[in-house]
Amino acid sequence: MIPAPFSYVAPTSVDEALAALAEHGDDAKILAGGQSLLPVLRMRLNAPEWVIDLGRIDSLRGVRDAGDHLVIGAMTTHHDVLHDPLVAEHAALITAAATDLADAQVRHRGTFGGSLAHADPAGDLGAPVLALGASFVIAGPSGTRTVPGTEFFVDLFETAIGDDEILTEVHVPKHTGWGAHYEKFVRVAHQWPIVAVAAAVRVEGGTIEHARIGLTNMGSTPLRATAVEEALTGQPLTADAVRAAAQHAADGANPPSDLNGDASYRSHLACVLTARAVLAAGGADG
């Protein structure tokens, strides 16, 4: 498959990238890891005149400790996030979600920021990032701004990133010592999740003190299952209690219908998977 012709530029700094974006504006698409953009170009679903490749901007790669939160560079590959010890220690939910993200080849090319900026509601990273209360650093012509997760995801494939802006970092509050689990439901391994649930819990003496739960592919954006989080707080980590709380998982969701299942089936799955995710995160047997 051959994309329509386009011009290509590979800036080496965020400022250069912003300048290129300012120059080509509506006619440009940003290339991060290319795992979503290239198929779109090759199938000629989109034909930008310019492709701005962020792959040579070294400052956008890597994970660092910033005290109460981690800073994950937007161009850090899924593979590097998956194997990062800081992420594993302080944001284990992200490690869990990255484990089965697509396949090994995609994990080596695809990037953390690229996936989030693409904002596919079936993408694996939105739900855990949202659940952990991450914020997004966006660079634009007039400097940088920080957007909370609740405002970052706007709609299907739509985020708060403006046409002249670039996502540079994601700040993830530390959840050190929390149990985490990403329960992903697929028919074949390499598929986007039909539904997935990201759960992080802090359990003290058999009681759930805090729970953070994100839902993948249950609406036009990743969702936070706040009703379940509230219902779980103070509950014992038992199958019955967790299942009862999880019955609220699909409240307010608007899941899609497709070949893998209709909306009502997805809502049912969300409840079942939420219970499983919470129990697994808490270290209890299902």
Partner 1 sequence: MTTTATEIGRDRRRKEDQRLITGRTRWTDNMTLPGMLHLAMVRSPFAHARITSIDTSAAAAAPNVVSVVTGAELGEEMGVLINAWPITPDQVAPVHTPMAVDRATFAGEIVAVVVARSAAAARDAAELVDVEYDELPAALDLKEAAADTVLAHPDLGTNKSAYWVFDSAAAGTGGDVEEAIGTARADGIVIEREYRQQRLIPAFMEPRSVVVDPTGEQLTVWSATQIPHILRFAMAATLGIPESKLRVIAPDVGGGFGGKLQTTPEEWLAVVLARRLGKPVKFTETRSESLISGHHGRDQWQKLTLAATKDGTVTGLKVELLADLGSHVSLVGGGVPVLGAFMFNAIYKFPAYHFACQTVLTNKTWTDAYRGAGRPEATFAIERLMDELAAELGVDPLVVREQNWIKHEEFPFTTVAGLEYDSGNYEAATARAKELFGYDELRAEQQRRRDADDPVQLGIGISTFTEMCGLAPSRVLGQLDYGAGGWEHASVRMLATGKVEVITGASAHGQGHETAFSQIVADRLGVAFEDVEVLHGDTQIAAKGLDTYGSRSLVVGGEALVRAADKVIEKARPIAAHLLEASVEDLEFSGGTFSVRGTDAGMAIGEIATAVFAAHNLPDGVEPSLDSDATYDPVNFSFPHGTHLCAVEVDTETGRVRMRSYVCVDDVGNIINPLIVAGQVHGGLVQGIAQALWEEAVYDDSGTLVSGSFVDYLLPTAADTISFEIDHTTTPSTTNTLGTKGVGEAGTIASTPAVVNAVVDAVRHLGVHDIAMPCTPERVWRAIHMSSSAEGADQ
C-beta closer to partner 1: residue 11 or 261: 261
Residue of the chain from 8, 142, 187, 205 that contacts partner 1 (CB under 8 A): 187
Q: How far apart are CA 245 and CA 239, in angstroms?
A: 10
Say whether residue 262 binds partner 1 (CB under 8 A): yes
Task: State in angstroms the smallest separation of the CB of 2 from partner 1.
Answer: 5
C-beta closer to partner 1: residue 112 or 185: 185
Token pair for 221:
């954006």
Residue of the chain from 185, 199, 218, 248 that contacts partner 1 (CB under 8 A): 185
Residue of the chain from 260, 278, 280, 281 that contacts partner 1 (CB under 8 A): 260
Torsional sign, CA 107, 113, 117, 121: positive
Going across the sheet that includes 143-148, the strands are: 63-65, 69-73, 166-173, 135-140, 143-148
Task: State in angstroms the smallest separation of the CB of 273 from partner 1.
Answer: 8
Q: How far apart are CA 195 and CA 218, in angstroms?
A: 7
Q: How far apart are CA 141 and CA 243, in angstroms?
A: 48
Residue of the chain from 8, 142, 143, 189 that contacts partner 1 (CB under 8 A): 189
Residue of the chain from 146, 191, 226, 254 that contacts partner 1 (CB under 8 A): 191
The candidate with the shortest Cα–Cα distance to 181, out of 274, 68, 87, is 274
C-beta closer to partner 1: residue 103 or 155: 103
Residue of the chain from 58, 68, 190, 206 that contacts partner 1 (CB under 8 A): 190
Contacts of 73 (CB under 8 A, 6+ apart): 59, 60, 61, 62, 63, 112, 113, 168, 169
C-beta closer to partner 1: residue 3 or 133: 3
Packing angle between helix 263-281 and helix 239-246, nearest 10 degrees? 140
Say whether residue 29 binds partner 1 (CB under 8 A): no
Contact stretch for partner 1 (CB under 8 A) within 9-17, 27-35, 167-175, 185-193: 185-193
Site for partner 1 in 34-63 (CB under 8 A): 43-44
Say whether residue 156 binds partner 1 (CB under 8 A): no
Point out which residues bind partner 1 (CB under 8 A). Answer: 1-2, 4-5, 43-44, 103, 185, 187-192, 194, 258-262, 265, 268-269, 272-273
